[in-house]
Amino acid sequence: MSLTHKAPPVVPQDSEPHPPATPPKHKLWFYRFDTKRTPYVFISPFFILFAIFGLFPIVFNGIVALRTWRLDDPDRNGWAGFDNFERLLHDEDFWNALGNTFGIFILSTVPQLLIALMVANLLNRKLRGTTWWRVGVLLPYVTPIAASTLVFAVFFSRDNGMANWLLSLVGFTDLGDPLDWRAYKWSSWIAIATMVNWKWIGYNALLYLSAMQAIPKDVYEAAAVDGAGPWRQLWRITVPMIRPVVIFTVVLSTIGGLQLFNEPMLFEANPAAATGGSNGQWQTIAQLIYKVGWKDLNLGYAAAMSWALFLIILIVAALNAFITNRLGGGRR
Amino acid sequence: MTTVTAPPPGKRRRREIGRAPQDTRGNWSTYLALTAVLALSAFPLYWMFVIATSTDEAVSQTPPSVVPGNQLLTNLREVFTMQDVYFTASLINSFIVASVVTVSTLFFCSLAGFAFAKLRFKGRDPLMFVVILTLTVPNQLGVVALYILMGKLGWNGTLLAVIAPFLVSAFGVFYMRQFILNSVPDELVESARMDGALTLRIYWSIVVPAIRPALAVLGLLTFVATWNEFQWPLITLNGTEFPTSMVALSDLASGNYVIYRRVLAGAFMATIPLLVLLVLGGRQIVRGIMEGAVKS
Amino acid sequence: MSRFGMRGAALIAAGLAGTLAISACSGQSLEGGGDKAADGQVTLKVNFWGDMGLDALKAAYEKEHPNVKIVLNSGEYNAQHEDLQKKLVAGSGAPDISAVDEGFMVQFRGQADKFVNLLDKGAATYESKYLPWKWQQSKSADGKQIGLGTDVGGLAMCYRSDLFKKAGLPTERDAVSKLWPTWDDFINVGKQYVDKTGKKFVDSATNMFNPVLAQQPQGFYNEQDQLQMEAGPKVAFEISMKAVKAGLSANLVSFQPNWDQGFKKDQFAVLACPAWMIGHIQDTAPDQKGKWDIAAIPGGGGNWGGSWWTIPKQGKNQDEAYKFVEWMIQPQQQIEVFKTVGNLPSQPALYKDPAVLDYKKEFMSNAPTGQIFASTAENLKPQYLGKRNGPTRVAVENVITRVQQGSLAPDSAWPEAVKEATKAANS
Q: Locate the domains of chain A by residue range.
A: 25-65, 91-330
Least confident of A84-88, A115-119, B88-92, C277-281: C277-281
How many Å lie between the alpha carbon of B295 and the closest alpha carbon of chain C? 19
Nearest Cα to A307, choosing from B140, B230, C110, B188? Answer: B140
Q: Is residue B150 part of a domain?
A: yes
Cβ–Cβ < 8 Å for B155, A272: no
**Minimal Cα distance from B261: which residue of C?**
C257
* C372-387 residue pLDDT tens: 888 877 777 778 888 8
Residue of C nearest to A87 (CA): C427
Residues in chain A, how many? 332
- Give the Å distances, CA to CA, from C155 to A201, A218, C340, C362, C415: 53, 81, 18, 19, 28
Give Cα A259 distance to the centre of its chain: 7
Search chain C and give the residue with CA nearest B87.
Answer: C23
Name the residue with higher pLDDT: A215 or B258: A215
Contact status of A93 with chain C (Cβ, < 8 Å): yes
- Whether the CB-CB separation of B256 and C49 falls below 8 Å is answered with yes
Q: What pLDDT is attached to residue A26?
A: 62
Measured between CA atoms, the residue of chain C closest to residue A293 is C86
Measured between beta carbons, the chain C residues lying within 8 angstroms of A184 are: 405, 407
Alpha-carbon span B25 to B8, nearest angstrom: 20
- The distance of C83 to chain A (nearest Cα, Å) reads 8
Distance between CA atoms of C42 and C317, rounded to whole angstroms? 7
Please name each of the domains of chain C with its CATH number. 42-152+305-365 (3.40.190.10)
Q: Which of A74, A269, A281 sits opposite C256 (nearest CB)?
A: A269
* CB-based contact C82 A297, cutoff 8 Å: yes
In A232-271, the residues whose Cβ lies within 8 Å of chain C are: 269-270
C12: chain B residues, CB-CB within 8 Å = 99, 102, 219, 223, 277
Q: Count A/B contacts: CB-CB distance under 8 Å.
A: 381
Q: Does the beta-carbon distance from B17 to A256 stay under 8 Å?
A: no
Cβ of residue A189 closer than 8 Å to a chain B Cβ:
no
**CB–CB contact A270 C76 (8 Å):** yes
Angstrom distance (rounded) from CA B51 to CA B67 = 9
DSSP secondary structure letter of residue B19:
S
Considering only the beta carbons, identify the residue of B241, B254, B277 that sits closest to C15: B277
- CA gap C208, C205 in Å, rounded: 5
Which amino acid belongs to residue B227? W
Q: What is the C-alpha end-to-end distance of chain B, expressed in Å?
A: 59
- Asked if B240 and C93 come within 8 Å (Cβ–Cβ), the reply is yes
Using CA atoms, how far apart are residues B243 and C21, in angstroms rounded to an integer? 19
Question: Is B126 within the bounds of a domain?
Answer: yes
Mean pLDDT of chain A: 85
Q: How close, in Å, is residue C139 to chain B by CA atoms?
A: 26
Question: Which residues are registered as beta bridge partners of C273?
Answer: C156
Concatenated DSSP letters for B73-120? HHHHHHHHH-GGGTHHHHHHHHHHHHHHHHHHHHHHHHHHHHHHHH--
What digits encode the pLDDT tens for the residues C123-143?
999 999 998 889 999 999 899
Q: Which residues contact residue C421 at a Cβ distance below 8 angstroms, ignoring those fewer than 6 apart?
A: C220, C227, C229, C233, C392, C395, C396
> Would you call C426 an interface residue with chain A, using a CB distance cutoff of 8 Å?
no
Contact C160, C270 (CB under 8 A): yes
Interface contact flag, C8 B277, Cβ < 8 Å:
no
| DSSP 3-state of A71 | coil
Substitution target in A72, A142, A268 with the highest count of C β-carbons within 10 Å is: A72
Number of domains present in the structure of chain B: 1
Q: Which of C149, C182, C154, C102 is nearest to C376 (CA)?
A: C154
Contact check, Cβ <8 Å, B99/C284: no
pLDDT of residue C113: 92
A276 near B CB under 8 A: no
- Distance from C-alpha of C419 to C-alpha of C421, rounded to nearest angstrom: 5
* pLDDT tens digits for range C326-343: 999 999 999 999 998 889
Q: Which residues of B touch A191 (CB under 8 A)?
A: none
Output the pLDDT for position A23. 54
Q: Render pLDDT for C362-371 as a digit per residue (tens, 0 to 9).
A: 999 999 988 8
> Which of C261, C391, C398 is the closest to A278 by Cβ?
C398
Does B239 sit within 8 Å of C83, measured CB to CB?
A: yes
Question: Is the pLDDT reported for residue A3 higher than 50?
Answer: no
Dihedrals phi, psi of A140, to nearest 5 degrees: -60, -35
Work out the minimum CA distance from B289 to partner chain C, whole angstroms.
16
Candidates C18, C70, A131, A142; CA nearest to B42 is A142
Task: Mention every residue, 6+ apart, whose C-beta is less than 8 A from residue B160.
Answer: B153
| Chain C interface mutation, best of B257, B275, B284, highest count of C Cβ atoms under 10 Å | B257
Pick the residue with more confidence: C383 or A105? A105
Task: Kindly report, residue by residue over B264-278, the tens digit of the pLDDT.
Answer: 999 999 999 999 999
Q: Does C83 lie at the interface with B, CB-CB under 8 angstroms?
A: yes
pLDDT at C104 over 60: yes
Average pLDDT of the segment spanning C190-208: 94
Residue C425 touches chain A, beta carbons under 8 Å: no
**pLDDT at residue C403 is higher than 70:** yes
DSSP letter at B241 equals: S
Distance from CA of C144 to the nearest CA of B (A): 27
Which tens digit of pLDDT belongs to each residue from C8-21? 444 444 444 444 44
**DSSP state for residue B65 in the 8-state scheme:** P
Q: Do B30 and A122 touch (CB under 8 A)?
A: yes
Residue C27 scores a pLDDT above 60: no
pLDDT of amino acid B1: 38
Most C CBs within 10 Å, among A84, A90, A182, A279, to test the C interface? A279
Please answer yes or no on whether C283 and B89 come within 8 Å at the CB atom.
no
- The answer to whether residue A20 scores a pLDDT higher than 60 is no
Q: Which of C85, C399, C408 sits opposite A72 (nearest CB)?
A: C85
Task: Test B144 with A286 for CB contact under 8 angstroms.
Answer: no
Burial (CB count within 10 angstroms: exposed 0-12, middle 13-18, buried 19+), residue C333: buried
Which residues of chain B fall below pLDDT 50?
Answer: 1-15, 293-296
CA torsion sign, A226 to A230 to A236 to A242? positive
Hey, how many other C-beta atoms are within 10 angstroms of the C-beta on C300?
12
Instruction: Convert B264-280 to b/e letters by CB count within 10 Å (16 or more is b).
Output: bbbbbbbbbbbbbbbeb
Max Cα-Cα span within chain C: 84
Give SS3 for C237: helix
**3-state DSSP helix/strand/coil percent for chain A, to nearest 5?**
70, 5, 30
Using a CB-CB distance cutoff of 8 angstroms, which residues of chain A are in contact with residue B195?
20
Query: How are beta strands C42-49 and C97-101 bridged, if at all?
Result: parallel
Test B284 with C4 for CB contact under 8 angstroms: yes
The pTM (predicted TM-score) of the whole model is: 0.83
How distant, in Å, are the alpha carbons of A252, B169, C207, C357 from that of B138?
Answer: 10, 13, 42, 62
Q: Which CATH superfamily is domain A91-330 in?
A: MetI-like (1.10.3720.10)
Q: Residue B85 is part of a domain; what is its CATH number?
A: 1.10.3720.10
Q: How many CB pairs under 8 A join B and C?
A: 143
DSSP assignment of B191-232: HHHHTT--HHHHIIIIIHHHTHHHHHHHHHHHHHHHHH--HH
User: What residues does C160 pair with on adjacent strands?
Assistant: C292
- State which residue of chain B sits closest to A214, comparing Cα positions: B22
Flag whether pLDDT at C193 surpasses 70.
Answer: yes
User: Which chain B residues are within 8 Å of C288, Cβ to Cβ?
Assistant: none
pLDDT per residue as tens digits for the range C233-248: 999 999 999 999 999 9
Non-local (6+) Cβ contacts of C216 within 8 A are: C231, C232, C233, C235, C236, C383
Q: What is the pLDDT of residues B159-194, one digit of tens each?
A: 999 999 999 999 899 999 989 998 899 999 989 988
Whether the CB-CB separation of A73 and C114 falls below 8 Å is answered with no
